[in-house]
C-alpha cells in the first residue's frame, strides 16, 4: 500500500510543475531517516507526474488538533488519549527531524500541522516536500507576487519580504 502524489491529468503541465515534482523526489531521496516520509519513486506516466511514498497509517497533526479541540470525531487513533508528555514528544520528534533536514542543507518551507502525520505508534513523520529547497539551489519563497508556503505558519520577516527564502529560524517559528 502506497501514497501517490499525482499532478492531475486534466491540468496542463507547465515546466515549473515538472521541476517541482523532480525536486521533491531529489530532496526526499536525500532524507532517508525516521521522521521523514521515505521516497519510493518519482516519475511521469502518460503525461501525469507522480511521487510514490509509503502509506502512513495514521492522521495528520492538524486532524489531531481538531479532535483535541472537539471539532472532529476521532477515527482509529484518538489523540485525546495523548498525555502532555506524549504531545511534547511529538514536537520533539518534529524538531529532531528538522535538525536532520537542516544538517543536510534542506528547508521544508511549508511546515504546518497538515504536513505532519502521526502514525499508529505516535511517531511524527514530515510529509509534503513539494516546495522544499536545498541550500545553494535556485528558488525564491515568492513566485510572482505570491509567497510560497502557508502564511499562517510563515515567519513575519518572510511575510514582509525582508527575507526571500525560508531560514532555519523561520522553520523553528513554524514549529512553534
User: Are 112 and 153 a contacting pair, CB within 8 Å?
Assistant: yes
User: Are 82 and 88 a contacting pair, CB within 8 Å?
Assistant: no
Task: Supply angle C-alpha 12, 15, 19, rounded to 5.
Answer: 120
User: Considering 110, 119, 128, 145, which one is annotated as catalytic?
Assistant: 110
User: Are 67 and 79 a contacting pair, CB within 8 Å?
Assistant: yes
- Report CA-CA distances (Å) from 11 to 17, 42, 47, 139: 11, 19, 10, 23
Q: Is 57 a catalytic residue?
A: no
Q: Given the DSSP bridges, would you call strands 142-143 and 146-147 parallel, antiparallel or unpaired?
A: antiparallel
Task: Supply angle C-alpha 166, 104, 146, rounded to 5.
Answer: 20
- The set of catalytic residues is 110
Amino acid at each position: 500500500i502506497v501514497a501517490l502524489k499525482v499532478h492531475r491529468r486534466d491540468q496542463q503541465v507547465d515546466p515549473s510543475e515538472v521541476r517541482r515534482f523532480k525536486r521533491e523526489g531529489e530532496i526526499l531521496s536525500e532524507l532517508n531517516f525516521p521522521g521523514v516520509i521515505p521516497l519510493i519513486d518519482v516519475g511521469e506516466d502518460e503525461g501525469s507526474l507522480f511521487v510514490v511514498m509509503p502509506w502512513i497509517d495514521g492522521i495528520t497533526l492538524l486532524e489531531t488538533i481538531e479532535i483535541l479541540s472537539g471539532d472532529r470525531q476521532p477515527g482509529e487513533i484518538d489523540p485525546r488519549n495523548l498525555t502532555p508528555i506524549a504531545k511534547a514528544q511529538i514536537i520533539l520528534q518534529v524538531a529532531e527531524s528538522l535538525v536532520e533536514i537542516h544538517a543536510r542543507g534542506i528547508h521544508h518551507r511549508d511546515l504546518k500541522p497538515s504536513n505532519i502525520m502521526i502514525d499508529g505508534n505516535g511517531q511524527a513523520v514530515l510529509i509534503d516536500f513539494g516546495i522544499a529547497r536545498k541550500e545553494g539551489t535556485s528558488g525564491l519563497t515568492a513566485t510572482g507576487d505570491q509567497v510560497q508556503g502557508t502564511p499562517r505558519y510563515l515567519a513575519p520577516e518572510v511575510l514582509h519580504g525582508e527575507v526571500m527564502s525560508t531560514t532555519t529560524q523561520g522553520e523553528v517559528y513554524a514549529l512553534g
